[in-house]
Amino acid sequence: MAAKTKFILFAILIAFAMFPAVSLAAKKAPKPIPKSACKPSYPSDDWVEWSCHRMKGNETPEKLFGEHWEAVLRFNRIDRRHIWEGKYIKIPANLPDVTTLPFSPMPKEAINYRGYPKYVLINLKEQFIGAYEFGELKFSIPIASGRAGHTTPKGMFKVLGGDKNHESNLYKIEKTDIPYPMHWAVKFYTTKRYVSFWIHGRDLPGYPASHGCVGLYDEEMQRDYYDFDKEPQLMDAKKFYLWIFPDSENNEKPHDYPKNSPEIPVEIF
């Protein structure tokens, strides 16, 4: 019995002796390398000469690009909350390439859509969405679509409804019990298992990151849920929602798309 007790005490002493070394090693472990916004490759990258820049501690998009910061972020498909020290972003060699006209990889006109008062075209390879009226591009905006394992469905769909205050019933904000906010949400597809896909506000990290929905800029949501201290300026989700439902800014209730309204196709490829 004495021998067994001595063995146990010896094992405890060994464990205590090793603990500080393990803790020190953990403290010295390198931080994860931030995902680079230069890594995603888009077909339209060849249209603009650019270089990859690593953000320094005192740099912000506003300081680097002045009044053109928004155009550069749109070119990167990224929002301000995802730009920090060490982050790599694409910087156009000539800012007018993305600022003289708003950068857009979407076609300016589409003959096939001329019969539709509104038509939504989503290009997953470009991570961009185009809003068309009678075949003419009214505006285009960057997106964050489904990541690997959670792909965004491709094909022809149509607007089914909207909910400006929608929340996910499947996913939470990371490290919380708060349902993920999907504000300014436009529903376009529901599977046979009643899983719905939406175009909605979220954060844009510069690469596909969703569970299958199509995410748009919503800095107001980031301010309210992520303590993002910037004045909200990138509000594409709201812009898109009000383009689909122009009379709903003061209507808080979710609604199905009116049956007597013209059909709005949503094409994803």
| Residues 120-132 pLDDT 10s | 999 999 999 999 9
Whether 2 has a pLDDT exceeding 70, the answer reads no
Rounded Cα distance between 106 and 123, Å, is 8
Pick the residue with more confidence: 5 or 25? 5
The Cβ of residue 83 has, within 10 Å, a number of other Cβ atoms equal to 22
Q: What is the pLDDT of residue 227?
A: 87
Whether 244 has a pLDDT exceeding 50, the answer reads yes
β-bridge partners, 256: 161
The architecture CATH gives domain 111-268: Beta Barrel (2.40)
Contact 256, 161 (CB under 8 A): yes
Whether 30 has a pLDDT exceeding 90, the answer reads no
Q: What is the pLDDT of residue 1?
A: 54
* Global confidence as pTM: 0.84
- Stretch among 15-19, 79-83, 221-225, 243-247 having the lowest mean pLDDT: 15-19
The tokens of 161 are what? Answer: 């409804």
Tallying the residues shown for the chain, one arrives at 269
Rounded Cα distance between 119 and 133, Å, is 6
pLDDT tens, residue by residue, 147-192: 999 999 999 999 999 999 999 988 888 888 999 999 999 999 999 9
Rounded Cα distance between 39 and 44, Å, is 14
Whether 260 has a pLDDT exceeding 70, the answer reads no
Rounded Cα distance between 157 and 196, Å, is 12
Q: What would the mean pLDDT of 21-34 be, rounded to a whole number?
A: 39
The rounded mean pLDDT for the chain is: 86
Q: What is the pLDDT of residue 132?
A: 98
Q: Give the model's confidence band at 212: pLDDT under 50 very low, under 70 low, under 90 confident, else very high.
A: very high
Q: Give the model's confidence band at 101: pLDDT under 50 very low, under 70 low, under 90 confident, else very high.
A: confident
